[in-house]
């Protein structure tokens, strides 16, 4: 069974600085997808970024980028130029390729606080 | 941008009662999901639904739970004979066709069992 681990329960960063959130996962599959979702206090889960495991190039989305290390099964999220609106719980999630469904397996989350 | 909508935002129910949580997925999506998040814990998969039938369910999704798509727009989660431990945030999500499509989540329904 796949598992997702986020070892940092809480992190803090100053506004305009850069922060990296860690995520590791365990799977015996070769093809899969990885996601980062953001859950602000308003509680809606918002997709931040998506990575296909068969692509070596790291995904980027404006100030958000990932460092995908397939051999190490690591998928960290870097947030550049942090903004107050980035304050949220961040969840790393795994989706198996070609499974019965596209269910997501989530990590326990990292609570990020951006300080003014 | 299209959104997944969930109602109600908060539901308070006496233990033993039945509740129905409602979701309107994004209109051209064909895959629908329910997830649960107990306070302070991670988000857990409950069930996925495609082509008017359950495609996968977790061990949490026992006979107490059922899902239905009663019409072309709504997707519901019914919990019978609720227990205290059913108290949680319930999220509905939907996705389009194609492998690896991201899931779009609703705001969630906070279910409180008294």
Beta carbons within 8 Å of A86's beta carbon, 6+ residues apart: A38, A79, A112, A114
Mean pLDDT of B2-14: 93
> Above 90 in pLDDT, residue A104?
yes
**Chain centroid offset of residue A107 CA:** 9
- Any B CB within 8 A of A79 CB: no
> Above 70 in pLDDT, residue B19?
yes
A22 secondary structure, DSSP code:
-
For residue A37, give the H/E element and its range. Answer: strand A32-39
With CA atoms as reference, the chain B residue closest to A39 would be B107
- Any A CB within 8 A of B9 CB: no
Q: What Rg, from alpha-carbon coordinates, does chain A have?
A: 14
Name beta bridge partners: A114. Answer: A13
Residue A100's pLDDT band, with cuts at 50, 70 and 90, is low
Question: What's the pLDDT at B40?
Answer: 83
């Amino acid at each position: 069974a796949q598992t997702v681990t986020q070892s940092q329960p809480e992190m803090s960063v100053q506004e305009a600085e850069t922060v990296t959130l860690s995520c590791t996962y365990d799977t015996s599959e070769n093809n899969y997808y990885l996601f980062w979702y953001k859950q602000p206090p308003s509680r809606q889960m918002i997709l931040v970024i998506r990575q296909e495991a068969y692509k070596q190039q790291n995904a980027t989305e404006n100030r958000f980028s990932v460092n995908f290390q397939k051999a190490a099964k690591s998928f960290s999220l870097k947030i550049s130029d942090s903004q107050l609106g980035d304050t949220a719980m961040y969840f790393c999630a795994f989706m198996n390729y070609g499974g019965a469904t596209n269910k997501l397996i989530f990590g326990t989350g990292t609570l990020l606080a951006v300080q003014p | 941008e299209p959104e997944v909508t969930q109602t109600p935002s908060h539901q308070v129910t006496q233990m033993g009662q039945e509740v129905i949580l409602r979701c309107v997925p994004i209109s051209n999506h064909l895959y629908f999901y329910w997830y649960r998040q107990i306070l302070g814990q991670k988000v857990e998969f409950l069930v996925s639904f495609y082509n008017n039938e359950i495609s996968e369910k977790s061990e949490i999704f026992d006979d107490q739970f059922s899902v239905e798509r009663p019409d072309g727009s709504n997707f519901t989660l019914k919990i019978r004979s609720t227990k205290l431990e059913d108290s949680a945030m319930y999220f509905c999500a939907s996705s389009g066709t194609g492998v690896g499509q991201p899931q779009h989540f609703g705001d969630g329904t906070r279910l409180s069992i008294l």
